[in-house]
Amino acid sequence: MEAKKQLFIDFEFTMAENKMNPEGFFPEIIEAGVVKVERGKIKETFSTFVKPRFFPKLTERCKRFLEITQEQVDNGLSFSELVHLLRKLSFGEETMIVTWGNMDMKVLRHNCKEHGLPFPIAGTEIDLSMEYKKFFGDRNQTGLWKAVEEYGKKGIGKHHRALDDALTTFNIFKLIEKDKQYLLKPKPLTIGERIDLTKLWQKQAT
């Protein structure tokens, strides 16, 4: 899963008032957090609220769960502006797009379709929650912050804040990659590494 250029992305979405979505309802992106990484180092971070177009009024359930206000999203970017910025942040085809779960990319694609806009990011998409599940042999998918706690770490900032979750995803990505290195077979030592040649030469010189 090694790549030199990555985008770690997290979105928060609108929610229906109850778990039974009304007819025609679909989740819209209302907050975006992106961490742009190159060669393992954070190059740029991006965070914004996004104004929903099709279901502009947030439900009480949504505001309560995300601790977000109507005013925050009303003052956010339009979805088309978000798409434009995501396109600018992308590295192109060589981008690895990393999310925790598969909903972020699904909702982004559906929102693009509803707005009549092209999908803005090219590259390889990685669901890190599935990588985590396979790596540790878990039966069920683990929540982002629970996964971090299982590493004995803490998430960054506040859960369900888009940029904080994107940064937390980046951190757990690094932890998983580090653990994978321990499973790799060590390279065989060269003769020079097995023998201290300086001592051997000293013995021959005496």
Residues labelled catalytic: 12, 160
Greatest Cα pair distance, the chain, in angstroms, is: 91
Nearest to 47 by CA among 165, 143, 156: 165
Q: Which residue's entry shows tokens 């991006």?
A: 46
Cα Rg of the chain, angstroms = 22
Helix axes 103-115, 79-89, angle to 10 degrees: 120
| DSSP-assigned letter for residue 137 | T
Q: How far is CA 162 from CA 96, 99, 138, 153, 158, in A?
A: 18, 11, 26, 19, 9
Structure tokens at 71: 């005013």
